[in-house]
Amino acid sequence: MRILMVCLGNICRSPLAEGILQSKVSADVKVDSAGTAAYHVGELPDSRSIAVAKKYGIDLTNQRARKFTVNDFDTFDLIYAMDESNYQDILTLARNTEEKLKVKLILNEVDLNSNQSVPDPYYGGNNGFENVYQLLDEACQIIANKIEE
C-alpha cells in the first residue's frame, strides 16, 4: 500500500500528515507527501511543523519538499488532499476515472462527505500548527485502522 499526502507548499500540512500516518502503520506501508506548488521544493518542512511533530515524538527532518507530478497517480494507491483547492488541482491532472477515484479529501475520513479542509497554518501562529496536528492525528488514526484491518 502506498499513500500520498498533498497540500500547497509541502512544508506545513502534508509533511505532518506523512509523519503522523507513517508513525501509525508498519514500515511496508509507504507514505510520502508532495505540494501542488513548487515554491518550496527542496526545503525542509516549516520549523513550526517540525516543532509540533517533535512534541509528539515524530521526526520530520528527513523530509524535503517536492512538487506533485502526474506520475504520482501511477505510484500511489491513495492520494489525500489537505484542502478543497489542492483536491481540485490534483483532480485536474488525473487522466482517467481510476486516477480520479484515488483522490480524497483527508478530513472526509473523519466526517464522511463533510468536505472540510485542513486550514492552511502558514500565515498564522503556533496555535494553527497544534490545531492542524490534532486534525491530522484523528484522520490518520482512522486511515491507519483501515489499512491494518
Per the CB < 8 A criterion, the answer to whether 14 and 33 are in contact is yes
Does the annotation count 46 as an active-site position? Answer: no
Determine which helix (DSSP H) or strand (DSSP E) holds 19, and give its type and residue range.
helix 13-24
Does the annotation count 7 as an active-site position? Answer: yes
Out of 32, 72, 83, 120, pick the active-site residue.
120
Per the CB < 8 A criterion, the answer to whether 64 and 38 are in contact is no
What's the rounded Cα separation, in Å, for the pair 106 and 127? Answer: 20
Residue given cell 509541502 in the structure block: 10
Per DSSP (E only), the strands in the chain are: 2-7, 30-35, 78-81, 103-105
Does the annotation count 77 as an active-site position? Answer: no
Per the CB < 8 A criterion, the answer to whether 118 and 80 are in contact is no
Give the nearest residue (CB) to ligand 4NP.
9
Which residue, 37 or 147, is less far from ligand 4NP as judged by CB? 37
Which residue, 12 or 143, is less far from ligand 4NP as judged by CB? 12
Which residue, 12 or 105, is less far from ligand 4NP as judged by CB? 12
Of the candidates 3, 7, 2, 16, the one whose C-alpha atom is nearest the C-alpha of residue 87 is: 7
Report in angstroms how near the CB of residue 149 gets to ligand 4NP at its nearest.
Answer: 29
Per the CB < 8 A criterion, the answer to whether 64 and 44 are in contact is yes
Report in angstroms how near the CB of residue 58 gets to ligand 4NP at its nearest.
Answer: 16
Out of 13, 46, 72, 89, pick the active-site residue.
13
Report in angstroms how near the CB of residue 45 gets to ligand 4NP at its nearest.
Answer: 8
Binding site for ligand 4NP (CB under 6 A): 7-13, 35, 39-40, 120, 122
Report in angstroms how near the CB of residue 143 gets to ligand 4NP at its nearest.
Answer: 18
Catalytic residues: 7, 13, 120
